[in-house]
């Protein structure tokens, strides 16, 4: 069973708990302020296990002025992609 994990904060404790729950085949979608974790200077995305897709909501990246500066391992997702991800995964977990 695959899980879509949504995270909206850059809180280190929350990231560690979320990262511990990730398994291969899952997707981690960064939304709201969590998109800052996609910046190359952040190590939080490096804590993600192998086989987990990491994506950031493009609209939130643009709203924060960081859309051109993200790590190469992080893809961009639109709202349409967000809906598609929620439909292709068995469950959705929101980390707040």
Q: What is the DSSP string of 78-92?
A: -HHHHHHHHHHSSEE
Q: What is the pTM of this model?
A: 0.93
Fold (topology level) of 3-95:
Hypothetical Protein Ychn; Chain: A, (3.40.1260)
Two tokens at 41? 């200077």
For the chain, give every domain's residue range: 3-95
90 Cβ contact partners less than 8 Å away, ≥ 6 residues apart: 1, 2, 3
Mean per-residue pLDDT, 4-11 = 95
The pLDDT, as a whole number, for residue 55 is 96
Q: What does pLDDT average to over the chain?
A: 92
């Amino acid at each position: 069973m695959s899980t879509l994990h949504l995270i909206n904060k850059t809180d280190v404790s929350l990231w560690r708990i979320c990262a511990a729950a990730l398994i291969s085949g899952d997707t981690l979608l960064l939304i709201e302020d969590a998109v800052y974790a996609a910046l190359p200077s952040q190590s939080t995305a490096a804590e993600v296990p192998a086989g987990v897709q990491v994506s950031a909501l493009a609209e939130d990246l643009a709203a924060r002025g960081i859309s051109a500066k993200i790590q190469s391992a992080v893809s961009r997702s639109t709202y349409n992609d967000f809906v598609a991800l929620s439909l292709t995964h068995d469950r959705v977990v929101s980390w707040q």
